[in-house]
Structure 1
Amino acid sequence: MFLKSAAIALTALLATSLIAKAETIPVLVPITGFLSLEGTSQRNGAVMAIERFGKPFDFETEVTDTGTSPEGAVTALRRALEDRPHAAIASMLGTQMLAMLPIAGRAGVPLLTVSGTAKITEIGIPWVFRFFPGDSVVKVAQARYAVEELGAKRPALLYQTTAYGQSGAEHLRKIMEELDAPLVFEEAIDISVKDMLPALTRLQEAKPDLILLHLHSGSTALVIRQARDQNISLPILAGSAMHQPTTAALLEPKQLAGVCAESASSPISEPIGPVEDFTAEYRARFGTEPDAFALAQYDGALMLIAARNSGARTAKEIRDWFANNSYDGLAMTYKSDSKGNMAHDAVVVCYDGKSAVPAIKRRYENITGVK
């Protein structure tokens, strides 16, 4: 009887140990609100990577919707930190990242993100790793394509009033000046604005030869639709939000004629190879098409798994491994520039007016020259 009881107790203890062994990776992203399309892609990429490749390390994910307020992100992070995670997937929204970073820094927990806001890696908190090219990368690609491929001399810019929008506008303003094609018009648009005609009317009065956009998904689609409905046929070179299949789905293919966009990648534009396999698996798993945000966060989560596989166990060891190693992901090779900027490549995609699937027109590799 004693032996039987001892065996039962030992079995229970082993089971408890196995349960305790599982490590939860918090996924703190905006899946409601104005960034829901982008945030859902970020979540999907992280979840897919960890579910597929994290099992040998007993990785699990716990997704928390941060909404779009800094307070929502801070609350989500503080709750996640109660379980003492060794790393977390963190919001792509710049204002949320700027609020979360000091907390993560004090706790000593690496945050993996696909936020494009430049400032998050410039404030001196060495616990953030960005797997989507920041504005210092993609805005260079956008500006160079505007001038070198589209021949722009009088570009106009519409950008969002958010931290993301202001960051991109600042970089575009400077780079276009350096390329001898200064902006002839610029206007910031609040995320709540639905009627883009007043801004488009003022833009036309400046007689631009190209429209640059640096807007979130919904605003990007509204500007393009209303511009085309008003027979504004100027070429449009948009930010990364436009490459998303969910953004293109908001428009008719004919409205996309003359529209291009910068991005880190475009999975649906890759017809063969490992990215095609990723796209097929993503489509089967989530019933939708992947975008660059999903692929970048997928690669970021896989680099976390690679760090663990290389022996990094604690939060500090993971941070140090990220800071000192490169990783060959599906979209590109990731390597820190000493500030946590891991992604240094970009692409420009264009639509032909007949399909919602863009073609990759130009690739820009290692724009920052990181070694």
Structure 2
Amino acid sequence: MGWRRSAVAALAAHVALPAAAQDLRLPVLVPLTGFVALEGTSQRNGALLAASQLKDVTLKPDVLDTQATPEAAVTAWERVMGGAPSPAVVGPILGTQMLALLPLAQDRGVPLLTISGTARLGELGNPWFFRFFPSDATVKVAHARYVVETLSAKRPAVIYQSTAYGQSGREQLAKTLIELKAPPVLEESIAPTVNDLSPALLRAKNANADVIVLHLHAASTVLAVRQARQLLPDVPIVAGSAMHQPATAALLEPAELKGVCAETAASPISATSGPMRAFLDAYRAAYKSEPDAFAAAQFDAVGMLGQIIAELRKAGQPVTPKAVRDRLASDIYHGVVTTYRSDGKGNMAHEAEIVCFGGTDRIPKPAARYSIPPRS
């Protein structure tokens, strides 16, 4: 495939630029500092890589750090909205920040492309919301099904983050585990600032848990796995998507990863061929690091945006945020992770994967894939 570097520009929010104009501004609002910095950095890198590869449209990414609070996200939004208009905005992975930005996007009339998994985002009826990572209503169903159907667990202990992300995942996990007749024997909420998870793990041990189910951000995931391997060495762990990240796995020894699995949309580092392998090679060349599913999903989101803009121009139609929104809501896009189409609520991805580590290296292997079609 041919790749091309992006150049500078602007697009009027509701007034189309001439068809000959090629340069468009793309605000990228992501957390680059704080407890989700690993995830936000992946999100940024995926967006920038996609922008650099577009053939028929040049996008000028404008990256701002949303840190880790809703207030910082709003400040970043106000800064980018004061500049040249844009056809869409990349929104942060952190659910609380997206909750703060969605009303602003609706007021402004600009599509927000995100990979935030918080299930509630898709239930707000905001027509400017588009999620390219499977929501908790998809990945947590896969998470729970793998625990019960594949591991045959009957007594799961759920340890989840106290953030909106964690609460959303916990709700979906509990609902599905109960439906599968394996209700949690323990549900433990952990703040991102907690640096000792041994009390929660000991409670899981005392509850005779037969699997540890984690739904935590990256830093807490590392701590939970490390301490679980000391306190509960023979109990399997099925973690959230943070665990599949190469940057997370790099903080643990391969032996500590034995018996650890994770839910995710995909595992680019495990790819050996096809479009995902091409993405993996391009990412490594650009960033000298390993990509994760967050980077790949955001790569696909910007790729779909580029395709929509190119098709609008080819058809001689005005490129406006509304025109982009309408196409995001109706088009089908074949990305490197999956095939994307909206379920009418802005949820674009409807598959989830379970990957597992073997204990000899830090590269997980696909263990199961689940397709959960959107309701019609």
* Shorter-chain TM-score range: over 0.9
One-letter identity of the residue aligned with 2:319: R
Larger mean CA deviation between 21-30 and 158-167 belongs to: 21-30
One-letter identity of the residue aligned with 1:28: L
Over 3 Å counting, the alpha-carbon distance change for 1:132 and 1:25 in structure 2 is: same
CA distance in 2, matches of 1:302, 1:20: 19
CA distance in 1, matches of 2:334, 2:23: 27
One-letter identity of the residue aligned with 2:151: L
CA distance in 2, matches of 1:314, 1:255: 50
CA distance in 2, matches of 1:363, 1:200: 28
Q: Is the 8 A contact 1:227 1:233 kept in 2?
A: no
CA distance in 2, matches of 1:352, 1:40: 27
What is the match of residue 163 of structure 1?
164
What is the match of residue 194 of structure 1?
195
Shift of 1:201: 1.0
Q: Secondary structure at the match of 1:144?
A: helix
What is the match of residue 5 of structure 1?
none
Identity of aligned residues (%): 53
Q: Is the 8 A contact 1:92 1:114 kept in 2?
A: yes
Q: Is the 8 A contact 1:51 1:60 kept in 2?
A: no
Matches for 1:141-152 after TM superposition, within 5 Å: 141-152=142-153
What is the match of residue 118 of structure 1?
119
Shift of 1:270: 1.4
Q: 1:368 aligns with which of 365, 368, 373?
A: 373
Shift of 1:310: 1.5
CA-to-aligned-CA distance 1:214-246 (integer Å, 9 cap, x gap): 000010010000111235320000010000000
What is the match of residue 9 of structure 1?
none
Q: Secondary structure at the match of 2:309?
A: helix
CA distance in 2, matches of 1:302, 1:246: 24
CA-to-aligned-CA distance 1:317-367 (integer Å, 9 cap, x gap): 0000000111010100000000000000010000011110000011112x0
Matches for 1:35-54 after TM superposition, within 5 Å: 35-53=36-54
Q: Secondary structure at the match of 1:310?
A: helix
Over 3 Å counting, the alpha-carbon distance change for 1:231 and 1:147 in structure 2 is: closer
Q: 1:343 aligns with which of 340, 346, 349?
A: 349
One-letter identity of the residue aligned with 2:68: T
One-letter identity of the residue aligned with 1:324: S
What is the match of residue 335 of structure 2?
329
What is the match of residue 205 of structure 1?
206
CA distance in 2, matches of 1:128, 1:251: 36
Aligned length: 353
One-letter identity of the residue aligned with 2:329: A
What is the match of residue 219 of structure 2?
218
What is the match of residue 5 of structure 2?
none
Q: Secondary structure at the match of 1:59?
A: strand
CA distance in 2, matches of 1:58, 1:186: 47
Q: Is the 8 A contact 1:53 1:305 kept in 2?
A: yes
Q: Is the 8 A contact 2:353 2:370 kept in 1?
A: yes
CA distance in 2, matches of 1:203, 1:160: 16
Shift of 1:22: 2.5
What is the match of residue 298 of structure 2?
297
Q: Secondary structure at the match of 1:229?
A: helix
Shift of 1:57: 2.4
CA distance in 1, matches of 2:212, 2:149: 15
One-letter identity of the residue aligned with 1:293: F
Tell me the TM-score normalized by structure 2. Answer: 0.91
What is the match of residue 80 of structure 1?
80
CA distance in 2, matches of 1:177, 1:283: 41
CA distance in 2, matches of 1:314, 1:239: 37
One-letter identity of the residue aligned with 1:162: T
Shift of 1:261: 0.5
CA-to-aligned-CA distance 1:140-198 (integer Å, 9 cap, x gap): 11111111110011101000000000000000001000000000111000000011111
Matches for 1:198-277 after TM superposition, within 5 Å: 198-277=199-278
One-letter identity of the residue aligned with 2:363: V
One-letter identity of the residue aligned with 1:263: T
Q: Which has the larger radius of gyration?
A: 1
Over 3 Å counting, the alpha-carbon distance change for 1:310 and 1:370 in structure 2 is: farther
Shift of 1:370: 4.9
Q: Is the 8 A contact 1:111 1:129 kept in 2?
A: yes
